[in-house]
Amino acid sequence: MNFSRRSLIKSAATAALATPFVAREGFAQAQVLKLTFADTRNHPLFQVLQRFAETVKSKSNGALEVQVYGTGELGSQANILTGMQTGIIDLCAHTSGYIDTLFPKFQVLDLPFLFPDTATAEKVLDGPVGQQLLDMMPTKGIYGLSYGVWAWRVTSTINRKAPKPEDIKGLKIRVQPGPIFAATFRALGANPIAIDYSEIYLALSQHTIDAVETPVIALPSAKHYEVVNTVNLTNYCYNAGVMLASKRKFDALAAPLKEALRASCTELTKDWRKAMVDKTTETTAFLKEKGLTFVDVDREAYRKATQSVYKDFRDVIGADLVDAVTKQIG
């Protein structure tokens, strides 16, 4: 072997070692991360997460590939968090209602009628309280990488207007699994029922339930608008979302890939939030065209009617945390 050939081989080997995390055709393959979220592929968040996947690929120089799956494709919504703990699922964009079941303190964000507006909710999430909630997650095998939102949760019914809290009495309503959601509607005299998201349409059609409490944008994505006809704008919950990562999978990534993933999640927050606001406006117009009735409600009366929930969950959440949030809201 002559000197020039040895030099060429040495240079090629050095270059390969210097860029171990870049996927190159014929050489290293990209690592695939499976990402699921708490809705169908028809939901506007699917497109947001597709853009997130492109960002991850770009920031990792092709070394990470994110594949996005809708609800039910990698297991039920209720089983997603377990799948992340075991490392079966790598990433998940999930709602606070399901996160509550694993991290009870997270319920502070779902106290009924807590946030007066979007700006206030974002201020809390982007501040010390939001970080405190994310910091507790690694103890159960999950990382919280960034916040998003599913949009304000409204109360959509079959033939029932509910401008006042007493109008909710006796309503059979599907709620998220988090106990604070059931407690909120029990305080209003309703009958909360926890069923999987995939079963809601059938339950509404068969009148097993009379209502759902979801964001407006969820009504077309799962075709619930074909059954409900009244949207009561209770806006009782901001419905925060979190981009979650399996601790087992994240810890196994090389440092540059961890950095790329975290940076992508930071960019995701802005896109996620804006997309949900824009889509809520668009969906509201669509639903009105379809003949659905939108009803304004007395949120202050509703807030007063659900104050017992604050008392019941104060010790569960932690008095200091509840006080910190309410103080920040002012």
User: 9-329 — its CATH code?
Assistant: 3.40.190.170
Mean pLDDT of the chain: 90
Q: Which residue has the tokens 């240079």?
A: 11
Q: What single-letter amino acid sits at 195? A: I
- Give the model's confidence band at 28: pLDDT under 50 very low, under 70 low, under 90 confident, else very high: low
Helix, coil or strand: residue 88: coil
- Whether the pLDDT of residue 80 is over 50: the answer is yes
Q: How many CB atoms lie within 10 A of CB 9?
A: 11
Domain ranges within the chain, ordered by starting residue? 9-329
Q: Which residue has the tokens 């207007």?
A: 161
- Whether the pLDDT of residue 24 is over 50: the answer is no
- Give the model's confidence band at 297: pLDDT under 50 very low, under 70 low, under 90 confident, else very high: very high
DSSP H or E run through 102: helix 96-102
Q: How many CB atoms lie within 10 A of CB 248?
A: 15
Residue 12 burial by Cβ neighbours in a 10 Å radius (0-12, 13-18, 19+): exposed
Report pLDDT for 240: 96
- Whether the pLDDT of residue 25 is over 60: the answer is no
Give Cα 181 to chain centroid, integer Å.
15
Q: What is the pLDDT of residues 243-284, one digit of tens each?
A: 999 999 999 999 999 999 999 999 999 999 999 999 999 999
DSSP per-residue codes, 287-298: HHHTT-EEE---
* Least confident residue range of 4-18, 24-38, 209-223, 246-260: 4-18
- Whether the pLDDT of residue 75 is over 90: the answer is no
Q: What value does the mean pLDDT take over residues 230-237?
A: 98
Q: What is the pLDDT of residues 153-177, one digit of tens each?
A: 999 999 999 999 999 999 999 998 8
How large a percentage of the chain has pLDDT more than 70?
A: 91
For 189, phi then psi, to 5°, come to 85, 10
The whole-model pTM stands at: 0.85
Token duo for residue 179: 């106990």
